Amino acid sequence: MRSQTALSKFLSFFLTKAIIGVSSIVGVVALVEWLGRSLLAKTQLPDNSVNIIVAIAESALALLTYTFLFRAYEKRKISELSKDAFWKNAVIGCATGFVLQSIFILIIYLTGNYSVIRINQVSSLLPSFAAALTAGFVGEIAIRGIFFRLTEEKLGTVLTLIICVLFFAIMHMNAKGASVLSVISTVVEAGLLLSAGYIFSRSLWLAIFLHFAWDFAEPGVFGAINPGITIDQSLLTSKIEGPSILTGGQLGPQNSIQAFLLCTLVSLVFLWMAKKKNNFIKPFWKRKNIS
């Protein structure tokens, strides 16, 4: 009986759940990546078609794995992936990601540092679509759906935001070509903005589609550098040159001063609206004191 209680406590500990959850998602995605590409390599499908099929399979199985795992593990309805909340939050997420990237590029254009060399076929969007789909779904399910959500339930919203910000700062401070501006921009965008969107909506759909639109628009539409995605096709073949504070240099527009300032502003707006909706969670020790 005592050993069963100890095991139950261990399995219900938030870090244990996070490790099991992330490991399950990573394992499923790795299996799909290996098996899917191995099977599709035997067909005559072009690379773009293979990439789209694999990306859709990875995204779908990541969603299913998360849903079934935590429905059984936590014995609850997975409200953060509610079908009723899908369209509203998907539209807000897509619009936020695409509009932000468009403003970054517009500022570079208005300062005379962005020019379009050529407009390519619509099919040129396919590589970035596939890469952004996987990044949006798999990345946000693992980071916001598992790590952030479980930590927030235990330690509260404010402390979890601080942990998330520090995590991304540590992960990117030694990246190749990193600067103070690139690190704080990444911290705001990956650590604060996406988390704030989730806190405001309490829906993973917003974070997923914001991340998707962000990674789709920057390299796929505008032909700019995105540090996390490497593609050889884009809708616009463009030329970006000028001071790195405006262009982001070798790390792309998302690491520019306008990206940092705008994403900070949008993050604060999301958090302000979340606070008004009473969406902030208190840490467990404050909840105990109240009770």
CA-to-CA dists, residue 288 to 282, 284, 291, angstroms? 10, 6, 5
> What is the pLDDT, as a whole number, of residue 20?
96
Q: Are strands 236-240 and 114-119 parallel, antiparallel or unpaired?
A: antiparallel
> What is the pLDDT, as a whole number, of residue 288?
67
Q: For residue range 117-163, list pLDDT tens digits in order.
A: 999 999 999 999 999 999 999 999 999 999 999 999 999 999 999 99
Identify the band that residue 35 occupies on the pLDDT scale cut at 50, 70 and 90. Answer: very high
Say what the pTM is.
0.94
CA-to-CA dists, residue 275 to 150, 151, 233, 234, 268, angstroms? 19, 18, 41, 39, 10
Phi, psi at residue 115, to the nearest 5°? -145, 145
CA-to-CA dists, residue 216 to 38, 102, 211, 220, angstroms? 26, 12, 8, 5
pLDDT for 207 beyond 70: yes
Residues 232, 251, 219, 80, CA torsion sign: positive
Q: For residue range 39-58, list pLDDT tens digits in order.
A: 999 898 999 999 999 999 99
pLDDT for 62 beyond 80: yes
Q: How many Å apart are CA 178 and CA 191, to the nearest integer?
A: 17
78: left (phi over 0), alpha (psi -120 to 50) or beta: beta
> What is the pLDDT, as a whole number, of residue 273?
98
The four Cα atoms 152, 154, 157, 158 give a dihedral, to 10 degrees, of -120
Strand partners, 238: 116
Average pLDDT over residues 197-211: 98
CB 221 within 8 A of CB 234: yes
Strand partners, 126: none
pLDDT for 172 beyond 60: yes
Average pLDDT over residues 18-47: 94
Identify the band that residue 290 occupies on the pLDDT scale cut at 50, 70 and 90. Answer: very low
